[in-house]
A and B are shown apart, each in its own frame.
Chain A
Amino acid sequence: MTLVDATVAAGYTVGDFLLFAAAGLAVLAIGMLYRAVKGPTMQDRVLAVNVLGTNTVVILAILAAALSEPTFLDIALVYALLNFLMAIAISKFTVERGGVL
């Protein structure tokens, strides 16, 4: 008997509630994808992908708690690292092209 199996309301457990929240975050991510497709500038797209990445990290962490799979947290950590590195690398690359990056 863990906390994830505790009932919140109307027979739904905390795990169910967290899964619903993850579904809601995924719907919001589709909205953010519109900005990544439309642009208009390249920085807009990088920013939208960065926000999407943060959203993905939260979804992964919520799934780790709801499905009781702690391995997902490692994936979320790596995803957060890569997301940050992507944003920094692309902004560095566009400003000083021909330098180190």
Chain B
Amino acid sequence: MIETLGPLGAIRVGLIVAFTLLGLFFTFVSMTGVLRLPDVYSRAHTASQADTLGAGFGLAAVALAIGLEGAGVKTVLLLFFIFVTNPTAAHAISRAAFEEGIVPWTEGDDRR
């Protein structure tokens, strides 16, 4: 029962629901971008931005659900790790694509 948790518990449950839904939404945005954008550079852009935000919201919801204990601290560390490494990995992949000689998409190009 939500009433036994007090007003702070109710706020926490609301935040968990909101963060989970936001995480689902941004992961959906990221999936749409990875599926529909025309070349590897634009896909790297959506993979580094929308997906990092989606993962951040999802992990924030998990950290709120677990609370102030060892596992919760681990979740926050995981969140920071994802925030640092995900854009770095996308950057490295798009640099590798550029060195391979993949031409960036411009208007009129009908690649999919």
Contact = CB atoms under 8 A, between A and B. Distances in A.
Interface of A: 1, 3-4, 6-8, 14, 17-18, 21, 24-25, 28, 31-32, 34-35, 41-44, 46-48, 50-51, 54-55, 57-58, 61-62, 64-66, 70, 73-74, 76-77, 80-81, 83-84, 87-88, 90-92, 94-95
A48 B43 CA distance: 9
Contacts of B12: 3
A46 B17 contact: no
A32 B89 contact: no
Dominant SS at the B interface?
helix
Interface in B1-28: 1-2, 4-5, 9, 12-13, 16-17, 20-21, 23-24, 27-28
A25 B78 contact: no
Nearest to B24: A24
B95 to A, nearest CB: 7
Interface of B: 1-2, 4-5, 9, 12-13, 16-17, 20-21, 23-24, 27-28, 30-31, 34-35, 40, 43-44, 47, 51-52, 54-55, 58-59, 61-62, 65-67, 70-71, 74-75, 77-78, 81-82, 85-86, 88-90, 92-97, 99-100, 102
